[in-house]
Amino acid sequence: MSPEAGVVSIETLLEGVSAVPSLPLFHARLDEAINHPRSSIADIAKIISEDQGLTARILKLANSPLFGYYSRIDTITQAVTIIGVQQVRDLALAISVMGLFEGIPEDLMTMELFWKHSIACGLTARILATSQRESNLERFFVAGILHDIGRLVMFINIPDLCREMLEMSRNEGRLLHEVERERLGFDHGDVGGVLLQRWKIPTRVAEPVEYHHRSMQAGQYPREACILHLADIISHALEFGASGEACVPTLDSRAWDRLALSPNLFPSLVREIDNQFAETASILQGA
Partner 1 sequence: MIPSETVERLMAIVPIDNLSAGMLLKSDVCDRSGRMLLPAGGELTDRHLKIFRTWGVLEADIADGDNIETAQILAGVDVDPVRLAAAEEAVKRLFRLNDREHPAIKELMRLCIARKVSHES
Binding of residue 37 to partner 1 (CB under 8 A): no
Residue 74 or 172 having the CB closest to partner 1: 172
**Measured CA distances, 97 to 17, 27, 239 (Å):** 20, 11, 23
Q: Should residue 167 be labelled a site residue for partner 1 when binding is judged by CB under 8 A?
A: no
Residues 174-213 that bind partner 1 (CB under 8 A): 174-175
Does residue 113 belong to the site contacting partner 1 (CB under 8 A)? Answer: no
Least Å from the CB of residue 240 to partner 1: 12
Q: Which residues partner with 8 through β-bridges?
A: 5
Q: Out of 131, 197, 203, 285, which residue is the one contacting partner 1 (CB under 8 A)? A: 131
First to last CA, the chain: 45
SS3 at position 8: strand
Alpha carbon separation from 122 to 5, 11, 173 (Å, rounded): 31, 27, 27
43 binds partner 1 (CB under 8 A): no
Residues 221-280 that bind partner 1 (CB under 8 A): 230, 233-234, 236-239, 247-251, 253, 256, 261-268, 270, 274
Cα Rg of the chain (Å, integer):
19
> Are the beta carbons of 162 and 108 closer than 8 angstroms?
yes
Nearest to partner 1 of 76, 128 (CB atom) = 128
Residue 12 interacts with partner 1 (CB under 8 A)? no
- Comparing CB distances to partner 1, the nearer of 61 and 225 is 225
Contact call for residue 172 and partner 1 (CB under 8 A): no
85: contact with partner 1 by CB under 8 A:
no
Binding mask 52-71 for partner 1 (x = CB under 8 A): --------------------
Please select the residue that binds partner 1; options are 173, 219, 260, 278, rule is CB under 8 A.
173
| Closest distance to partner 1 from the beta carbon of 145 (Å) | 22
Q: Is 110 in the site for partner 1 (CB under 8 A)?
A: no
Please report, for residues 7, 182, 198, 272, the alpha-carbon distance to residue 256 in angstroms, rounded to integers and kept in the order given: 35, 25, 30, 20
- Name the phi and psi angles at 110, rounded to 5: -95, 135
Q: Is 137 in the site for partner 1 (CB under 8 A)?
A: no
Rounded CA-CA distance 234/248 in Å is: 8
Any idea how long the chain is? 287
How far from 255 is each of 126, 217, 229, CA to CA, in Å? 17, 10, 8
Please report whether residue 116 would count as binding partner 1 according to CB under 8 A.
no
Closest distance to partner 1 from the beta carbon of 190 (Å): 21
Q: How far is the CB of 209 from partner 1 (least distance, A)?
A: 22
For the stretch 216-221, contacts whose Cβ atoms lie closer than 8 Å and that sit 24 or more positions apart, written own/partner, are: 216/252, 216/254, 216/255, 216/258
Task: Kindly determine how many residues on this chain lie close enough to bind partner 1 according to the rule CB under 8 A.
Answer: 29
| Cβ(17)–Cβ(197) below 8 Å | no
Site of interaction with partner 1 (CB under 8 A) = 131, 133, 173-175, 230, 233-234, 236-239, 247-251, 253, 256, 261-268, 270, 274
